[in-house]
Amino acid sequence: QVQLVEPGGGSVQAGGSLRLSCAASGYITGTYCMAWFRQAPEKERERVAGVNVVGTPYYEESVKGRFTISQDNAKNTLYLQMNSLKPEDTAMYYCAADGRSPTYCMGTYPYWGQGTQVTVSS
């Protein structure tokens, strides 16, 4: 059973930084396509960052240059470093794992963490 745990949320002033982490049970980060999603109240869930099957990160346009996704396969942990935070970054953030073939991610993200709240105040 895939289990994802997401410590690292919290509250920060605008312009500050937070680092989220996602600890996975088993050896998941090298087996699944990993990503970070977020959902603010009354907003659609959006994928903010992910890692493709060859380990190349990608980002939603609004967080480019501010967020960095990384994974440590030895620790089986996914990270999201968030810098220059803005109030509009306030959301529940979720770690997610997607099934994959050797060459592509499935795109269905069947596995999710419990979520961690990030609040950015002005």
pLDDT of residue 15: 98
| Token code pair at residue 30 | 């090298």
State which amino acid sits at residue 84. S
pLDDT of residue 76: 85
- The mean predicted confidence, pLDDT, of the chain is 92
- Yes or no: say if 97 and 32 are a contact pair by the CB < 8 Å rule: yes
Q: What percentage of residues in the chain have a pLDDT greater than 90?
A: 66
In angstroms, the CA 79 to CA 104 distance is 21
